[in-house]
Homo-oligomer: A and B are copies of this chain.
Amino acid sequence: MLRPLHLAALLLAAAPTFAQKNPPQPKPVENLTQYAKPIVGTAKMGHTFPGATVPFGMVQLSPDTDTLSYEQDDKYNPDVYKYCAGYQYQDPTIVGFSHTHFSGTGHSDLGDFLLMPTTGPLQLNPGTATQPERGYRSRFNHATEVAEPGYYRVQLEDHDILAELTATNRVGMHQYTFPQATDQAHLILDLMHGIYNYPDKNVWTFVRVENDTLVTGYRQTNGWARTRTVYFAMSFSRPFTNYGSRNYAKKQAYRGFWGKFDQTKNWPDLAGEQLRMYFNFKTTTAGEKLKVKFALSPVSTAGALQNLRAEAPGWDFDRVRAQARQLWQQELSKVVIESPKREDKENFYTALYHAFLSPTTYMDADGQYRGLDQNNHRAEGFTNYTTFSLWDTYRALHPLLNLVQPKRNADMVQSMLAHFEQSAEHMLPVWSHYANENWCMIGYHSVPVIADAVLKGNAPFDANRALDACVTTARTARYDGLGYYMQLGYVPEDKSGSSVSKTLEYAYDDWCIAQMARKLNRPDIYQEFSKRAQNWQNVYDARIGFMRPRLTDGSFRPNFDVLSTHNQGFIEGNAWNYSLYVPQDPAALIAKMGGNRRFTEHLDSLFTMHLPDKFFAETEDITREGIIGNYVHGNEPAHHAAYLYNWTDQPYKTQARVRMILPKMYRPTPDGLGGNDDCGQMSAWYIFSALGFYPVAPGSPEYALGSPAVHGATLSLENGKTFRITVRNQSDKNVYVKEARLNGQKLTRPFLTHEAIMNGGELVFTMAARP
């Protein structure tokens, strides 16, 4: 025992000598996980979840405070929207802990495999928030709640149980501490539970009690993902004494000769549409723990069991928790910021935390995953990811990952290409999760993600094959007005709704294809898509100075309201916001809109005008605070808007706007997000903007400079280099950049190249109180 200690001491003693021969080491990074607050965004519209997960983890294990009580009501409940992430901060009860969650979405799915520990008489119904005592759910108090990266804890008051959660990539680990010795300790496994649930969402569920500490099975659903199956293996730290189940299906599944057995008690082989199970335990002293390891697989229960054994072989909860925290510390350390205010760090690391939740790992430890064709595939040489909220995340999240997580971002591109290979429609993902295309939103925004990777030199895959996939996708005539777009140069509103948004976004995506084609020396494709990239001009109505829907006959649609987002040719944005959407060529847009003065007036008005309440009411997915004037930060189409001043003669206004938006839209409190976090896009906007630059047009090698909110930052890049951001004379009032110097060289334009960052070096901002 002494020898290793002695050796360690020697090594430590030698370290300073060694260090002296090398450049000065960065000082040890403090514990950054203390600043990341998973609880942020869990109130109102943020739609984040407070539970336990590792970065980009398959298991995202979190308390559900409600989803949709279809016990009482068979009909679709519009309140289901509130529960996109399963948790609303103001709710008084917790139903239980389920293993999969989206972060920040505006439509939802998942919530698989809810576990809930209870004491007292067995209850198999969840009960209601107002009458929790009528079911297995429990009241809770935020005072007992701790939500940290990789760890969650809460006291379940009705059962007097301390519940703790942690996770590895594919295994959720539960630790339930029971109060007194009891022979009425239960664990509920609710297979009916789900997020965005409704009576027929469960297509089939299947459970096997393999032995008295191991249960396996799956849940197959028809939801946002049309055909989706998730497999599990659940292991207990102590044997159950007995178990049982109840099938709640109104129309009982065919029973055949199974009817001769009592399957409700201790029967190890269950299947049906609506099942709940219970497992009974006995505790003999106060404070005894039941630990549960719950592994997932997209492939099979055998895969789940392998994941369980590979990632969580033991029962040391604290060790798994420490590992999870260490993984977060490692990822968060990629960007170390300086600020005298704790709140700034909380905002920043909470944003980074949310940005590193998805896309999620979607393959077993051995690389197998279920594909869109429902066959099992093996990811060769990359990690397969899922949950691509691309209409949101192509804007800033993927550029952020391309910068600070290039390996993962390239793997995400490979995952998209695998999707393309498996797609019956021969298309790249639009919004995909769990081996499904769900077709949410518009555009083909895999393209800018791929283009951004290719053009920034992060393409450890066959870039020509990737380009071909983009081109094939962009030529899919049957897709969402695209045939008309190719024929007419715009999507006609009388044929396909949200036609202006589609036209504008297709045009930008086409520009991305052209940029890739240029880099890859594919002139025909470059020509074709450069031409298509101009199509934004076809929906600009110069007479009114706004983008406006056109009809098949070429005329602009009459009866047009530039403030409304409802049925005006746009989606999640009105003409004021969407008319600014030509990220590929702001200069041309400015010229089109009448030049510098007219354009800055439009931009100024956007941020300052009064939006009557009736228009707010029809704006989706955001709180009232998510709007500044008529600028809708809570939705994505205008996320680049504040940076457009950089193309005018008033870039200082970008700086002022950004610094105004940052504290207004992001606060480190449960209600601190002004709209859906959208799988990290809102958070990625914060991160870039707080650092002082933003990717206005992913696929372009340039970032637009803004105004840093940090007092300094160090980016540790995967290529081993360090990029340092130093901010002089920083204060809340000094929002204007007096000067920016890259490696000592003064920047003459408010732009920064990706290459400059990747080469390492230092960017020094000097701030001032006036432009």
A residues lining the B interface (CB < 8 Å): 107, 198, 200-201, 203-204, 206, 208-210, 216, 218, 220, 222-224, 226-227, 251, 253-254, 256-258, 260-261, 266-269, 271, 300-302, 373-376, 423-425, 431, 437-441, 478, 480
User: Do A216 and B439 touch across chains, with their CB atoms under 8 A apart?
Assistant: no
User: Do B480 and A254 touch across chains, with their CB atoms under 8 A apart?
Assistant: no
The one of B206, B218, B431, B480 that contacts A260, using a Cβ cutoff of 8 Å = B480
User: Do A257 and B222 touch across chains, with their CB atoms under 8 A apart?
Assistant: no
Given the complex, which residues of B lie within 8 Å of A302, measured CB to CB?
373, 375
Given the complex, which residues of B lie within 8 Å of A441, measured CB to CB?
257
A83 to B227 Cα, complex, angstroms: 31
User: Do A373 and B216 touch across chains, with their CB atoms under 8 A apart?
Assistant: yes
The one of B209, B218, B258, B478 that contacts A374, using a Cβ cutoff of 8 Å = B218
Inter-chain pairs besides A107-B256, A200-B253, 12 sampled, C-beta below 8 Å? A198-B254, A204-B220, A209-B424, A210-B424, A222-B253, A226-B254, A257-B438, A257-B439, A257-B440, A266-B478, A300-B375, A300-B376
What's the least CB distance linking A220 to chain B, in Å?
7
Given the complex, which residues of B lie within 8 Å of A251, measured CB to CB?
200
Given the complex, which residues of B lie within 8 Å of A216, measured CB to CB?
373
Given the complex, which residues of B lie within 8 Å of A258, measured CB to CB?
226, 438-439
User: Do A222 and B254 touch across chains, with their CB atoms under 8 A apart?
Assistant: yes
What's the least CB distance linking A625 to chain B, in Å?
28
A226 to B438 Cα, complex, angstroms: 29
A200 to B424 Cα, complex, angstroms: 27
Given the complex, which residues of B lie within 8 Å of A227, measured CB to CB?
204, 206, 271
Given the complex, which residues of B lie within 8 Å of A203, measured CB to CB?
203-204
What's the least CB distance linking A215 to chain B, in Å?
10
User: Do A261 and B440 touch across chains, with their CB atoms under 8 A apart?
Assistant: no
User: Do B218 and A256 touch across chains, with their CB atoms under 8 A apart?
Assistant: no
User: Do B222 and A478 touch across chains, with their CB atoms under 8 A apart?
Assistant: no
User: Do B218 and A204 touch across chains, with their CB atoms under 8 A apart?
Assistant: no
Given the complex, which residues of B lie within 8 Å of A208, measured CB to CB?
373, 424
With A204-B203, A204-B220: A256-B374 Cβ-Cβ less than 8 Å: no
27 contacts between A and B (CB under 8 A): A200-B253, A203-B204, A204-B204, A204-B220, A204-B227, A209-B424, A218-B374, A222-B271, A223-B256, A224-B254, A226-B253, A226-B256, A256-B438, A256-B439, A256-B440, A257-B439, A258-B439, A260-B480, A261-B478, A261-B480, A266-B478, A269-B424, A269-B425, A301-B373, A302-B373, A302-B375, A376-B376
Given the complex, which residues of B lie within 8 Å of A204, measured CB to CB?
203-204, 220, 222, 227
A204 to B253 Cα, complex, angstroms: 13
What's the least CB distance linking A102 to chain B, in Å?
14
Given the complex, which residues of B lie within 8 Å of A256, measured CB to CB?
107, 223-224, 226, 438-440
Chain B residue at minimal CB-CB distance from A223:
B254
Interface of A, secondary structure class, is loop
A438 to B269 Cα, complex, angstroms: 12
What's the least CB distance linking A670 to chain B, in Å?
29
Residue among A226, A300, A301 having the largest count of chain B Cβ atoms under 10 Å: A226
The one of B198, B226, B253, B268 that contacts A424, using a Cβ cutoff of 8 Å = B268
A61 to B222 Cα, complex, angstroms: 31
Given the complex, which residues of B lie within 8 Å of A266, measured CB to CB?
478
What's the least CB distance linking A441 to chain B, in Å?
8
With A200-B254, A258-B439, A439-B261: A301-B209 Cβ-Cβ less than 8 Å: no
Chain B residue at minimal CB-CB distance from A204:
B203
Chain B residue at minimal CB-CB distance from A255:
B226
Query: 8 nearest interchain CB pairs?
Result: A269-B424, A257-B439, A268-B424, A208-B424, A302-B375, A300-B375, A222-B253, A227-B271
User: Do B439 and A260 touch across chains, with their CB atoms under 8 A apart?
Assistant: yes
Residue among A210, A373, A376 having the largest count of chain B Cβ atoms under 10 Å: A373
With A439-B257, A440-B257: A425-B374 Cβ-Cβ less than 8 Å: no
Chain B residue at minimal CB-CB distance from A266:
B478
With A260-B439, A424-B269, A425-B269: A206-B374 Cβ-Cβ less than 8 Å: yes
A173 to B208 Cα, complex, angstroms: 38
A441 to B256 Cα, complex, angstroms: 11
A301 to B376 Cα, complex, angstroms: 10
A411 to B528 Cα, complex, angstroms: 61
A751 to B224 Cα, complex, angstroms: 68
Given the complex, which residues of B lie within 8 Å of A210, measured CB to CB?
424
What's the least CB distance linking A263 to chain B, in Å?
11
Given the complex, which residues of B lie within 8 Å of A209, measured CB to CB?
424
User: Do A374 and B300 touch across chains, with their CB atoms under 8 A apart?
Assistant: yes
Given the complex, which residues of B lie within 8 Å of A224, measured CB to CB?
254, 256
A254 to B221 Cα, complex, angstroms: 10
With A220-B204, A438-B257: A271-B226 Cβ-Cβ less than 8 Å: yes
Given the complex, which residues of B lie within 8 Å of A220, measured CB to CB?
204
A148 to B206 Cα, complex, angstroms: 41
A424 to B251 Cα, complex, angstroms: 25
User: Do B201 and A254 touch across chains, with their CB atoms under 8 A apart?
Assistant: yes
Given the complex, which residues of B lie within 8 Å of A425, measured CB to CB?
268-269
A210 to B426 Cα, complex, angstroms: 9
A300 to B260 Cα, complex, angstroms: 32
A266 to B209 Cα, complex, angstroms: 44
Given the complex, which residues of B lie within 8 Å of A206, measured CB to CB?
227, 374
A300 to B229 Cα, complex, angstroms: 14
Chain B residue at minimal CB-CB distance from A257:
B439
A222 to B445 Cα, complex, angstroms: 39
Chain B residue at minimal CB-CB distance from A208:
B424
A45 to B257 Cα, complex, angstroms: 21
What's the least CB distance linking A353 to chain B, in Å?
29
What's the least CB distance linking A370 to chain B, in Å?
10
What's the least CB distance linking A271 to chain B, in Å?
5
A520 to B254 Cα, complex, angstroms: 42
What's the least CB distance linking A392 to chain B, in Å?
15
A440 to B440 Cα, complex, angstroms: 46
A441 to B257 Cα, complex, angstroms: 8
A425 to B268 Cα, complex, angstroms: 6
With A204-B220, A268-B424, A269-B424: A301-B375 Cβ-Cβ less than 8 Å: yes
Chain B residue at minimal CB-CB distance from A496:
B260
What's the least CB distance linking A257 to chain B, in Å?
4
User: Do B439 and A374 touch across chains, with their CB atoms under 8 A apart?
Assistant: no
A254 to B196 Cα, complex, angstroms: 11
What's the least CB distance linking A216 to chain B, in Å?
7
A437 to B258 Cα, complex, angstroms: 9
Given the complex, which residues of B lie within 8 Å of A260, measured CB to CB?
439, 480
Given the complex, which residues of B lie within 8 Å of A439, measured CB to CB?
256-258, 260-261
What's the least CB distance linking A484 to chain B, in Å?
14
Given the complex, which residues of B lie within 8 Å of A267, measured CB to CB?
478
Residue among A107, A223, A260 having the largest count of chain B Cβ atoms under 10 Å: A260
What's the least CB distance linking A240 to chain B, in Å?
15
What's the least CB distance linking A533 to chain B, in Å?
25
What's the least CB distance linking A153 to chain B, in Å?
35
